[in-house]
Structure 1
Amino acid sequence: MKHAETVTFGGGGLDRAEDLRRHPEMLSALPVRTLPLWRGKPLLNASRDGLAFIGGPAFTDHGTPVLIGRIDGAAIFARDVSALRVEDVSDMLGGFTDTSEQTHVDLPDGTAFAELRQAMTRLSPLDAEIAATAKGVLDWHRTHGFCANCGSPTDAGKAGWMRGCAGCGRMHFPRTDPVVIMLITRGNSVLLGRSPAWPEGFFSCLAGFMEPGETLEAAVRREVWEETGIRVGPVSYLSSQPWPFPGSLMLGAHGEAISEQIEIDPEEIAEAIWLSREDMAEVLAGNHARILPAREGAIAHFLLQNWLADTLD
């Protein structure tokens, strides 16, 4: 797919500076800029179209410093400052619907913590990659304070890219869970589904976690069959998207359906429909009478948009 890396969180060109993770003496010689995140929400600039970095030592009493990369000779770190007592705490915290912002007296004027899924389409590709990386790794640290092998506490190492266990010596590294998300077509139509937890009218591409020992192609066919009873023939890879909510890698694929009779599994999916190309154009334009458009910035929107534009190849 020619436009694969134009997906949100893709193609930022971040220098991840892996060499600095292995050489703390080199890392300590560089100037530092820090991106603080509060409950997974990155600090945004006053215009809300970019990240806000804080120069010099910042929030050193908060969280594990994680080296995100190197920009213009400076080391970019991320820190979890969720213990910070911020202003404007809202009941809407978390998820797609969180439009709240949080501030603190020690932050630069005009900056605020904001939900990444609300801001992701306004960020540059580089800022989006930095934010996704920071959120994913910090979430991993938050949930991996103890060794999965022996249960002992673990300590951060390699500039935040490893946790080591003093009890058994096991080293643990940030994990990413592969998820297939499928653009399933048959002729001039595309298959969409709605999760039981989603609001009425919200449909998207089918998706599901890959299983051990499974190829991408097999996962696509299995998930579509399990959820809708549709059989899929040829499968091709299209694009991927890091999705740090909390730690997935969305693997976008195109599958050609070889059957069309839908029989849903109600425990897996609330509803599935075939939608024509013409109707899909109305959906993405926000003009459809029943179906709501997939969220801009999500890979489902990206795949559907490219299918409509005939730019999958």
Structure 2
Amino acid sequence: MSPSVDYLLDLSLSRGTLDRSHTRRRDPGLIKAVLADPETQVLDMVDKQAPTCRVDGTLQLVFRPPQFGDGDQLVLYLGVDGDGVSYVALPRDSADGGAEDGAAEAPGPGWRTLREAGAELDDTHAGVFTSALALAHWHARHPRCPRCGAETVPEQGGWSRRCTEDGSEHFPRTDAAIIVAVTDREDRLLLARGPHWPENRLSVLAGFVEAGESLEATVAREVFEEVGVHVEDVVYRGNQPWPFPASLMVGFSARATDTGLELDEEEIVRAEWFTRGELNWAVRNGDVQLPPRVSIARRLIEDWFGGEIEASEEVSQPFRGRDS
């Protein structure tokens, strides 16, 4: 891997500012104490969406103080800010119903997903939403012990679950994945489309790190497997969490040593090399739809391009038919 100090430092979901207070999580009375504090900031999340509003043109999350009954549902402790104010999130699905006092209504106008809101939120709010969504996904997918199948219960402010049968403790999993902007010797950018994406959606290549594999090896393997191109000059560019549901996207750039494309059609159904002018024209007239601005993919593309690319229509929904 080539060294680089030119990192992408303004990635939307890497800007959290809260002190996660990991030692405080060990207190079994933490959630009760935090909910007893009227200064605590509570974020309702329904169907993975959170309430937002604009204040002087700036998008913000909408928090509320603790209310009676909050402690009867899953509470995720997210940490404290510089003023010592605690933040928690209460995730639920609208199909499950809500607290008896109706604190969290079903999503409506003003409720946004992280994909929709993340790029516009400030550092604290972006970090709160990102951590809350990652934890909410994990709890929803891990109600039972992977060792014995018994039910598990949340502990440590929602940062672990303990098996009620064998006592084993389980923690949120993060899956590492690489994402890479591949250019050729003429500085053209390679963009591709997966089989489950809409026909005009293109992005840079990405893939999960396999067991026993380094990040650099993953870059080389994924690019060759998906499009048949060898790469060199692999350069780290930055990383950000991607809680859809539980990834850490590690960004790179790389230079192709050859440009002939041989697609693995189970993974890639379209791949093209673009000059800056070609991509700008294709995006403006709607022939190419880029990843959302909240993604590291979009930042890698626009970093190569040299600035923001104005699209005819911005996308925020998942590329696939499910939130993955």
Q: What's the TM-score once normalised by structure 2's chain length?
A: 0.82
Structure 1 residues 289, 162: CA separation in 2 closer, same or farther (over 3 Å shift)?
closer
Are 1:33 and 2:37 counterparts? Answer: no
Structure 1 residues 55, 134: CA separation in 2 closer, same or farther (over 3 Å shift)?
same
Task: Answer yes or no: is the 8 Å Cα contact 1:193–1:205 preserved in 2.
Answer: yes
For residues 136-151 of structure 1, the aligned pairs below 5 Å read 136-151=134-149
- Give the letter aligned to residue 113 of structure 1: W
2:9 alignment partner, SS class: helix
Are 1:17 and 2:5 counterparts? Answer: no
Structure 1 residues 252, 212: CA separation in 2 closer, same or farther (over 3 Å shift)?
same
1:138 alignment partner, SS class: helix
Q: CA deviation at 1:281?
A: 3.9
Q: Deviations over 1:101-126 (max 9, x none)?
A: xxx96469x97432221222221122
Root-mean-square deviation (Å): 2.5
Q: Find the counterpart in structure 2 of residue 307 from structure 1.
A: 304
Structure 1 residues 180, 202: CA separation in 2 closer, same or farther (over 3 Å shift)?
same
Task: Answer yes or no: is the 8 Å Cα contact 2:47–2:93 preserved in 1.
Answer: yes
Q: CA deviation at 1:199?
A: 1.4
Structure 1 residues 70, 215: CA separation in 2 closer, same or farther (over 3 Å shift)?
same
Q: Find the counterpart in structure 2 of residue 222 from structure 1.
A: 221
Distance 2:80 2:31 in 1: 10
Task: Answer yes or no: is the 8 Å Cα contact 2:152–2:162 preserved in 1.
Answer: yes
Are 1:74 and 2:97 counterparts? Answer: no
Q: Find the counterpart in structure 1 of residue 288 from structure 2.
A: 291
Distance 1:54 1:294 in 2: 32
| Structure 1: runs of 5+ lacking an equivalent | 87-103
Percent identity, please: 32
Task: Answer yes or no: is the 8 Å Cα contact 1:237–1:254 preserved in 2.
Answer: yes
Q: CA deviation at 1:190?
A: 1.0
Task: Answer yes or no: is the 8 Å Cα contact 1:227–1:269 preserved in 2.
Answer: yes
For residues 164-203 of structure 1, the aligned pairs below 5 Å read 164-187=162-185, 188-203=187-202
Task: Answer yes or no: is the 8 Å Cα contact 2:46–2:104 preserved in 1.
Answer: no
Task: Answer yes or no: is the 8 Å Cα contact 2:44–2:104 preserved in 1.
Answer: no
Q: What's the TM-score once normalised by structure 1's chain length?
A: 0.84
Structure 1 residues 270, 37: CA separation in 2 closer, same or farther (over 3 Å shift)?
same
Work out the number of aligned pairs and report it. Answer: 290
Distance 1:154 1:26 in 2: 19
Deviation larger for 274-283 or 49-58 = 274-283
For residues 111-260 of structure 1, the aligned pairs below 5 Å read 112-187=110-185, 188-260=187-259
Distance 1:58 1:178 in 2: 39
For residues 269-280 of structure 1, the aligned pairs below 5 Å read 269-280=268-279
Q: CA deviation at 1:234?
A: 2.5
Q: CA deviation at 1:166?
A: 2.6
1:79 alignment partner, SS class: strand
Deviation larger for 179-188 or 10-19 = 10-19
Q: Deviations over 1:55-88 (max 9, x none)?
A: 12365265311101112222211111324658xx
- Give the letter aligned to residue 26 of structure 2: R
Task: Answer yes or no: is the 8 Å Cα contact 1:45–1:111 preserved in 2.
Answer: no
Deviation larger for 288-297 or 20-29 = 20-29
